[in-house]
Amino acid sequence: MDNNITLSRLDTMDVDCVVKDPPESGSTLNDQNDMSRMGKVQEFKVSLKSKVVESFIDNIEAQLSPVSSIKLLGCFAGHVGVYFNGLQNGGFAGLFWSFVWTFFGFGFIIVSLAEMASMAPTSGGQYHWVSEFAPARHQKFLSYTTGWMSVLAWQAGAASGSFLTGTIIQGLISIRDPSYKPQNWQGTLFVFAMIAIIYFFNVHAANWIPRIQNLLLALHLMSWVIVVVVLFVMTPQQPAKVVFTEFYNGGSDATAHMSEEVKDAGRYVPIAIAWGYFGNGILAIIVLVGLLLSIPSVPAALKDSSGFPFLYVFRNTLSLAGVNGLASTILIPVIFSNILFNASTARQTHAFARDKGLPFAEWISHVDRRRRIPVRAIFLSCLISGLLSVINIGSTVAFNAIISLNVAALMYTYAISISCVIYRKIHCPETLPPRRWSMGRLGLSINIIGLVYVCFALFWSFWPPTPSVTAEDFNWSVVIFVGIFILSLMVYAFQGRYQYVGPVVIVQRRE
């Protein structure tokens, strides 16, 4: 057991030693105890209730195409927008079975993250968990690099959500006007418009976020019912044998980063993470089956001018007005998910800066005292999304490589954090913080399976989309991933090792 850093069990805590939250914060005593144990002051307004916090889980689901990289998606509405790669690299059966495999494999990761979120409900997420659970001699370095890769993953993911929205709109325009030829610069302008909406809601309409969550949950279920009815009732159906056996080769934490704004986070954040993931996954599988049954030809769907197989199916079944209306039921939840995704991204960035893990940490970690939100971190996240989208004007390949980084970087943070909690459970389980959501005796086994799957997913995330690789279709994410990792090492050598101590040290000072 490590002697210089010991994580003691805090089954009880003297109320007098708790950092008191402002009366209007809305936090519970359990929230205050958790924040005090981690050495943090509750700066955010706690306004997210347990029944609606599941909306943030819409940003943490995953799909793995057979040859290409993992795509972190939103709710089922986000899934239907990114099935192109799966169809291209596996056809009907390839897309379906890879989705099922990923759904169950990624589930082990999700419940592992949920348990860690119950032990330490903080916006920092993975880098904080690594700091608490890693061996003492390695916690500082591992936590620092995990923090950098987590920031990279979430910032790239935020940009991809806005980009998906813009390209869906371009696809709808091409359906309405067959002479329209989508241009990259036009897609970038749509991204700018989405970023403006995201900034407005997360800063000037932040008090509406709980209502947005309620609305998103309602829209999510309503749009799911509408899409399912259209796919299974109105469209001509392929034989089931084709969907499940015919292959073709043409070439899920957000809630964890909102923990400091959730009431009774140590209990309800892990519940939202686990149940939100599995509930959404079941809905997505049903929609996937309906979509695959409705596609008459894989090559025709891939060559459709809209660029989206689901729009191809809608156009074959509905009138132009029907296509617009049904696509809106998918597009609107995606837009709301983008708003919530940016909120999670900003909180994660703010948390790492708060622990002095980023350059200009004091400026980034500032919290607006009137609004009680990290306005500067929100602005920075929107700015990064905008800058990344500009790359798309010159090269779609380069932009897609950067966006795919959120997969590799996120898998890296999962691998390190799960490895550290496995280490802690094996070598000194008595030092783990108390938790109110646990996997019991199966916990360690689930962690190990989750780690194996993460390594598998990380390996495939760097592969190109086609076997014959050229400079144009090479998956440049591996180059950028290594480059950013080296940059984090350089910043650590010149700045981080002097300023960054890691959350676990702050935890010990509170004990």
pLDDT band of 50, cuts 50, 70, 90? very low
pLDDT band of 164, cuts 50, 70, 90? confident
Specify if 372 maps to a domain.
yes
For 82-114, the pLDDT digits (tens) are: 555 666 666 667 677 778 888 888 888 888 888
Predicted confidence at residue 223, as pLDDT, reads 81
Mean pLDDT of 385-407: 79
Q: How many residues does the chain have?
A: 511
Predicted confidence at residue 42, as pLDDT, reads 52
Predicted confidence at residue 64, as pLDDT, reads 30
Neighbour tally for 274: CB within 10 Å: 22
Mean pLDDT of 248-271: 53
420 neighbors 503 (Cβ within 8 angstroms):
no
Segment among 28-32, 189-193, 401-405 with least mean pLDDT: 28-32
Predicted confidence at residue 382, as pLDDT, reads 94
CA–CA separation, 115 and 10 (whole Å): 17
CA–CA separation, 472 and 248 (whole Å): 22
Segment among 72-76, 394-398, 470-474 with least mean pLDDT: 72-76
Mean pLDDT of 478-498: 89
Segment among 19-23, 353-357, 448-452 with least mean pLDDT: 19-23
Q: What is the mean pLDDT of the chain?
A: 75
Q: Above 70 in pLDDT, residue 137?
A: yes
> Which of these, 178, 155, 184, 119, lies nearest to 480 by C-alpha position?
155
Mean pLDDT of 334-353: 86
Q: Which amino acid is at 454?
A: V
Range of the domain at 108: 48-510
CA–CA separation, 478 and 390 (whole Å): 21
Mean pLDDT of 469-476: 70
Specify if 23 maps to a domain.
no
Specify if 36 maps to a domain.
no
Predicted confidence at residue 142, as pLDDT, reads 93
Predicted confidence at residue 423, as pLDDT, reads 93
pTM here is 0.76
Specify if 8 maps to a domain.
no
Q: Above 60 in pLDDT, residue 74?
A: no
Predicted confidence at residue 52, as pLDDT, reads 42
Q: Above 70 in pLDDT, residue 345?
A: yes
Segment among 70-84, 144-158, 431-445, 480-494 with least mean pLDDT: 70-84
Specify if 42 maps to a domain.
no
Mean pLDDT of 463-477: 70
Segment among 136-150, 159-173, 237-251, 465-479 with least mean pLDDT: 237-251
Mean pLDDT of 239-253: 56
Predicted confidence at residue 123, as pLDDT, reads 66
Q: What is the DSSP letter of 151?
A: H
pLDDT band of 467, cuts 50, 70, 90? low
Residue 175 sits in a domain whose CATH number is 1.20.1740.10
Mean pLDDT of 118-141: 84
Predicted confidence at residue 83, as pLDDT, reads 57
Mean pLDDT of 160-178: 85
Helix (H) or strand (E) holding 70: strand 70-73
Predicted confidence at residue 10, as pLDDT, reads 32
Predicted confidence at residue 282, as pLDDT, reads 81
Higher pLDDT pick, 409 / 256: 409
Mean pLDDT of 43-49: 49
The percent of residues in the chain predicted with pLDDT above 70, rounded, is 70
Higher pLDDT pick, 71 / 430: 430
Specify if 174 maps to a domain.
yes
Higher pLDDT pick, 449 / 100: 449
Specify if 452 maps to a domain.
yes
pLDDT band of 447, cuts 50, 70, 90? very high
Q: Above 60 in pLDDT, residue 72?
A: no
- Calculate the alpha carbon distances from 50 to 53, 106, 241, 338, 401 in Å: 5, 23, 41, 20, 36
Mean pLDDT of 331-357: 86
Higher pLDDT pick, 275 / 105: 105
Specify if 177 maps to a domain.
yes
Predicted confidence at residue 171, as pLDDT, reads 86
CA–CA separation, 144 and 116 (whole Å): 18
Neighbour tally for 30: CB within 10 Å: 15
Q: For the chain, how many structural domains are there in total? A: 1
- Calculate the alpha carbon distances from 195 to 104, 192, 392 in Å: 33, 5, 15
Predicted confidence at residue 251, as pLDDT, reads 57
Predicted confidence at residue 257, as pLDDT, reads 43
